[in-house]
A and B are shown apart, each in its own frame.
Chain A
Amino acid sequence: MYASGKYSSRGPALIPRMKTKHRIYYITLFSVVLFGLIATGMFQFWPHSIESTADWTVDKRSVHDAPLMRLQVSSPIPERGDLSCRMHTCFDVYRCGYNPKNRIKVYIYPLQRFVDELGVPISSTGLSREYNDLLSAISDSDFYTDDVNRACLFVPSTDVLNQNSLRIRETAQALAMLPRWNKGMNHLLFNMLPGGPPDYNTALDVPRDRALLAGGGFSTWTYRQGYDVSIPVYSPLSADVELPERQPGPRRYFILSSQTAIHREYRAELERLKEENGEALLLLDKCSNLSHGAASARKRCYKGQVYDYPQILQESSFCVVLRGARLGQAALSDVLQAGCVPVILADSYILPFSEVLDWKRASVVIPEEKLSEMYTILKSIPHRQVEEMQRQARWFWEAYFSSMKAIGLTTLQIINDRIYPYAAQTYEQWNNPTVVKWSSVNSPLFLPLIPPRAPGFTAVVLTYDRVDSLFRVITEISKVPSLAKLLVVWNNQNKSPPEESLWPKVGVPLKVVRTKENKLSNRFFPYDEIETEAVLAIDDDIIMLTSDELQFGYEVWREFPDRLVGYPGRLHLWDHEMGKWKYESEWTNEVSMVLTGAAFYHKYFNYLYTYKMPGDIKNWVDAHMNCEDIAMNFLVANITGKAPIKVTPRKKFKCPECTAIDGLSLDQTHMVERSECINKFASVFGTMPLKVVEHRADPVLYKDDFPEKLKSFPNIGSL
């Protein structure tokens, strides 16, 4: 390149002096060379794009170009699968090792074509489209590694999805020839159609040593629980047909049977059911007048009437999935796709992914023997449950059945969960569809506990520089019997807190924490000094709360440790005119928030506020110096799904003598700003988590005609 550059710089001077003949000669030479270069470049990069456009001829070549392996008759055959295999006996866990991501690494063997000594391939189909999709999905996933030495799981590229297309002995030999086979340890085989005539074994017949089997159609006798993975039988219609999701609800037919290969005994029984129940049942079979082929797979007939399959499945509430020669049926996938509740009649069948999926929420399993009672059984299921099941069925299909990719990755995830059980996906993650995930809550403090009174609470006083007021607050709070500790959060960086000798004398430990920045969030920091579960957040100007009032607040908190327990309540309202949320501080009949100027809550929420607050809410609060209480109310309501508890009649914090000093509240702009907060937070949370209630908590004998001195909390305060 350097040479050419040099030449061209001198070029203009040289060329005119050359003879015309030479000049033409050289120009031609250059053109040829240039053209050659361009052509080579083109040739280099072009073929890749050809591949992706799926040119059939090129495709065909690349599969059939896979290196050929010739099997010897005498080459070793693995042992038949060992039924007693479990992860701790037949799986080499050292290969997976400890890794911070808790993710197994999967290696895929390069593609090979195996033939026997006569040159006959071991499989009639070779690599199928589905298996190719599966391997591609794995290689695109996080699980994949191309380093055979780092792999924990090995996936052969030999396609054993359909046993019928395999020569069993030779396939087994081919597996044993894999370089890392090692008795099949850590090898995973995918099979969807096991067994063959006449007895149709329920697991792959290919001898496979200790290899794990992801099989469609396991029975309870061949399935090695905790070792094998039961997978669905993929239905090719999943990719071909698009069925839009239908709203759950009653459908035109109650029960639909659409399978074509039903044993005549069962068909007779279905016919009998149809006679008894008439129109509610639709019993379809293959169309006799249509020729076999792709078209016939998409049509079903009943008495000469032709129906489109699988679209017809969407017209029924329940769809029968009967066992055929095999237990696993591809129809299950079609039925789920249509959002029809599968009625599974296949005794001893291990349902797909049953290790993690709760099939009771998406299907009805009936023993084959009870086929004749099917109608009565299904009628007894409550409507609302049927709707839930329809939704769940469709969701199962979307998440776990819809493609070979979904099937493959779910299988790997299940194995991954076994190897790193402490990082396994939860029941909720596996089974709750997105709708439920949005509307439901999984409270982090779900255990019904009433904590003992003894540990007491820690009062956290946020202060800036109002020392007099602060001291009064401290003196007042120290009278509360259950106070365990006082923590003053000194938010003023320019001024030091007063000397120790000046502080009021209190009976409990008093700690002062100096903060680095004047931020409102400091009040909700989970300080190590807070040793009790209960935290009382209190402002440095709240002096009107009586000792009884505070003690009662603490008692109420003990009954509701997962809620905010506060004094003045506030409400959020929907402003129809403006089309947005509005903050309401009027004395209303309802409450959805409590002010944290004085409120009890669990220390856990401090931790959540500081580390788990969604979006930029925390920064927003610090920047605006407002709404930290609204943010806390949102956070708690969102995670627990519960409303706060307002205690005692207290409506405001302001006492008559301290009207104008209050720095933050009062004026109109303040209200506008707080309304803005609600709108902002609601958009960050993506929903309005606040719950409205109409009750407040009072002592049992509040306002009762009863001697005051016998009441536990006689002095409960005023408005």
Chain B
Amino acid sequence: MEGINAKYVSQKISKTRWRLVSHSSLQQPDIFATGSWDNEVNKISFWSIGNHGGSDMDDGFEGDPQLLCEYKHDGDVLDLQFLDQERIVTTSSTGAVTIFRHHQNSQTISVSHCWPRAHRYPCDNAPCTGVVCSSPEIVTVGEDGKIIVFRADQEGVIRVIENADSSTIHAVTYLRTTEILTVNSIGQLKLWDFRQQSDAPSQILSLSGDRVPLHCVDRHPNQQHIVATGGQDGMLCVWDVRQGSTPFSLMEAHSAEMWEVHFHPTNPDHLFTCSEDGSLLHWETSTHTDMPSFLQGGRNNSMVSRSAMAPAGGNQSLISAWLSGDSSKGRLETTHMLPSQTLSVNSLDVLGQCLVCGTDGEAIFVNRQVPV
């Protein structure tokens, strides 16, 4: 496994995220942020892997992440997202939602804004489990079953959906600009449309059979109806939210909870998952022919999907390779990305050709040559 090394950082990493790079430039990402958990004093940190080729590394390997700056964080960092080039939003086990600003010149961090008990119970703290943002809007979800919408520049909350869920909401992602998807601990995928005034989900999807809690969700970057989720039993499910209330395909991915699933943002034939069982998998799907999938519209694909449902509507919509995913047919390749078994891999992020992940073994792995 070339190009992947462990950096031990003396803190269990709960989240890692690459800083966004502008799409116009073809630069590889160079800075990522991490959040820790289960420490007496938790921290958020910014690291650089020096892709700009500026400073030369005196010690360590080329690409060994260097700590730029760090800041104390109250409570476990349960989720972390970049709001823009300089600011990150974090959610805490104390129920707080905080915006931190990274000052690049002085390499310091300051708190830009904080909503201290955004998620709470009447007499207790409720951990805030997930956040997604599309600047300046921020949406958070928590163990109290609430969905809260903030704006980065405003004090109060914009909207609260109380009792959105009777169980814990584990993750949230945008489906469209006004629609979000949440997953909860009774195995349901819920669609919420913010244009509607009512506090009810516009759609509920779930697996028939056991109500296995779902922990992570991600939307296909180009085809907005395709969503992947991962759950407690380590199964990777790919759903088509336009039709049916059950997933299109189910794949056995891991032997323990799957913590994160990510489509590659620019090359969505690649998917990455990480799990409590200490492995990080790279899924690569390929269509039957060598033609890229977007050119196949109009042809009757010979692949039969598991549920054998023809897509609705007269026009043959693009059948994504994911929806026909069937690992037994050998069209789905999976590779382990980490050299050996570690403790739980809690988080991963992939951008361009760079992959970063953090583990409970207090190590960060960076791979700069992901084959996508």
Chain B associates with chain A? no
